[in-house]
């Protein structure tokens, strides 16, 4: 077995484990959003919760899937490779204490300043609606401490991932979703506005996300340093990487937060519909792209630390090709099936998510899905820089992307209403990817990145063929307004047929991506026999 195949097999194997667990988590995430659609819909409470969760959710993305993990992992991997076990855990324990201090400080400041940044920035469009801005500020204060728990949970995840333990960290979002679902349905009647039950569920979920990883950390040997200290020579190095990385890795989420702030001035329900739409997009990202990005960073960091530049480049390109192989057909399929998907997931008899809510969400989903590939590829691209301990270059690309996003968020709604804001996010992600492409060529001149273009053309062609198949077959199979069970069965039938059609077309055209997947699966079977 060649080195490339071994690296790719390891990557796919780990990604498959996370994808399965993350897929389950995203299903619970959808149930959580369904609970929100049933109890809150696009009402004042729905918009208030959506806006109140913007900052905690943004920081969750940054520390959980972005800058903190991306900055900590390469440094921690170096220590694991070059230092003794005692020094490794001294560093980990000291950084844990430092992050605890920083996160407490952020939480306190966030609660104190909530009336100011919500009233003047993130929810300024709510001021003219009686009670709406007050509810939003209160929910923000309740949920802000979530940042403390999820920040430490993300650090625990990074340590476990460095030791190739992916399952438990990947399962922690399930705890968050379950906490919100149980609290929402169990206690919403006890509050004047059911949005309060959702906010309390967020805090409970954050606590569980952290505590369920502690036993695994202790088993590995994690412990706080003695004497307790916030200062370790490696901490400064991580913070140096992390500060620009907060911007570089999390620009898409920052763009989303800015966009939703702008959307608060749009029609009622705009913020909620953008979040419902974003949930569907994140389902696809989470099942595969986030899983692949999670396992790619530790592997790229190890290859970079070992000086294996050729393997490093090939592994990065392989990951981007796999992202394209999944996201491009998913984009076309979701756009064609947006109406049955939205109605199945969020429209329930007796719920407050009505036909108007569905129309708003479908429009946003169409615009969001156009950026799926770009968002996924950016996550892999940024990891290439982080593995090389370069967090400054992604910041340049992210800064330009953010400026473009803000400008487009004010321009596009003139033609596309709130969907123009989602479209602005997608275009900004595409701009960021193009910039990362030019920057990585300068850093790795031998990187054969042009091979990606031929893959994109081939994958797009086969995906369009699949789209034609879906367009003509779906009307005969889908059962609209026939009850949830029949709607699920008919939609899953269409999706299943589309997947089979897509893979058959790829096999007939000898797609390298499908051949590599089959080859690796066969090797796994032989290894297990």
Q: What is the pLDDT of residues 33-51, one digit of tens each?
A: 778 878 887 677 778 887 8
Across residues 90-94, what is the average pLDDT?
87
Q: How far apart are CA 318 and CA 4, in angstroms?
A: 10
Q: Are 95 and 155 in contact (CB under 8 A)?
A: yes
Which of 13-22, 229-238, 359-368 is modeled with the greatest confidence?
A: 359-368
Return the pLDDT at 57.
73
Share of the chain above pLDDT 70, in %: 82
Beta strands in 349-498 (DSSP E): none
pLDDT at 320 over 70: yes
Q: Per the structure block, which two tokens stand in for 325?
A: 């192989």
**203-258 confidence digits (pLDDT tens):** 999 999 999 999 998 998 888 877 777 777 788 878 777 766 565 555 656 776 77
Distance between terminal CA atoms of the chain? 17
Return the pLDDT at 71.
73
Q: Are 275 and 263 in contact (CB under 8 A)?
A: no
Q: Among all chains, which residue has been given the structure tokens 């036993």?
A: 215
Q: How far apart are CA 165 and CA 184, in angstroms?
A: 32
Return the pLDDT at 357.
84
How many C-beta neighbours within 10 Å does residue 301 have? 25
Mean per-residue pLDDT over the chain, rounded: 80
pLDDT at 312 over 90: no
**386-398 confidence digits (pLDDT tens):** 777 777 888 888 8
Q: How confident is the model at residue 365 (pLDDT cuts 50, 70, 90)?
A: very high
Q: How confident is the model at residue 18 (pLDDT cuts 50, 70, 90)?
A: low
Dmax over CA atoms of the chain, in Å, equals 70
Return the pLDDT at 240.
74
The residue among 286 and 124 whose pLDDT is bigger is 124
DSSP tag of 119: I
């Amino acid at each position: 077995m060649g080195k490339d195949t071994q690296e790719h097999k390891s990557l796919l194997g780990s990604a498959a484990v996370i994808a399965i667990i993350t897929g389950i988590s995203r299903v619970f995430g959808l149930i959580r959003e369904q609970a929100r659609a049933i109890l809150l819909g696009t009402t004042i409470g729905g918009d208030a919760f959506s806006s109140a969760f913007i900052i905690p959710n943004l920081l969750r993305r940054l520390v959980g899937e972005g800058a903190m993990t991306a900055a900590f992992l390469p440094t921690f991997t170096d220590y694991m490779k070059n230092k003794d076990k005692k020094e490794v855990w001294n560093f980990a324990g000291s950084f844990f204490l430092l992050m605890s201090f920083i996160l407490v400080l952020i939480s306190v400041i966030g609660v104190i300043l909530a009336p100011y940044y919500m009233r003047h920035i993130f929810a300024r469009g709510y001021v003219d609606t009686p009670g709406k801005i007050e509810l939003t500020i209160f929910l923000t204060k309740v949920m802000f401490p979530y940042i403390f728990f999820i920040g430490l949970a993300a650090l625990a995840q990074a340590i476990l991932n460095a030791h190739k333990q992916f399952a438990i960290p990947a399962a922690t979002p399930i705890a968050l979703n379950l906490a919100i679902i149980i609290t929402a349905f169990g206690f919403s009647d006890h509050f004047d506005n059911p949005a309060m039950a959702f906010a309390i569920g967020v805090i409970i979920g954050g606590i569980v996300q952290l505590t369920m990883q502690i036993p695994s950390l202790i088993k590995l040997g994690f412990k706080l340093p003695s004497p307790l200290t916030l200062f370790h020579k490696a901490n400064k190095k991580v913070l140096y990487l992390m500060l620009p990385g907060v911007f570089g890795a999390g620009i898409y989420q920052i763009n989303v937060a800015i966009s939703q702030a702008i959307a608060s001035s749009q029609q009622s329900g705009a913020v909620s519909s953008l979040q419902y739409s974003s949930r569907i997009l994140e389902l696809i990202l989470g099942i595969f792209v986030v899983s692949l990005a999670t396992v790619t960073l530790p592997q790229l960091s190890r290859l970079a630390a070992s000086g294996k530049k050729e393997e490093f480049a090939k592994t990065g390109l392989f990951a981007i090709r796999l992202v394209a192989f999944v996201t491009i057909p998913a984009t076309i399929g979701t756009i064609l099936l947006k109406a049955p998907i939205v109605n199945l997931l969020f429209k329930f008899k007796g719920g407050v998510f009505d036909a108007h809510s569905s129309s708003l969400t479908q429009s946003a989903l169409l615009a969001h899905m156009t950026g799926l590939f770009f968002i996924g590829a950016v996550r892999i691209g940024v990891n290439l820089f982080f593995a090389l301990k370069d967090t400054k270059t992604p910041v340049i690309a992210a800064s330009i992307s953010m400026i473009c996003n803000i400008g487009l968020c004010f321009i596009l709604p003139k033609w596309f209403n709130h969907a123009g804001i989602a479209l602005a996010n997608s275009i900004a992600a595409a701009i960021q990817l193009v910039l990362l492409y030019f920057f990585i060529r300068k850093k790795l001149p031998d990187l054969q990145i042009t091979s990606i273009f031929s893959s994109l053309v081939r994958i797009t062609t086969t995906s369009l063929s699949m789209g034609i198949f879906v367009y003509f077959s779906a009307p005969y199979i889908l059962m609209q307004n026939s009850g949830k069970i029949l709607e699920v069965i008919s939609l899953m039938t269409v999706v299943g047929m589309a997947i089979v059609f897509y893979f058959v077309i790829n096999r007939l055209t000898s797609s390298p991506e499908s051949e590599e997947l089959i080859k690796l699966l066969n090797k796994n079977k032989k290894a297990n026999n």
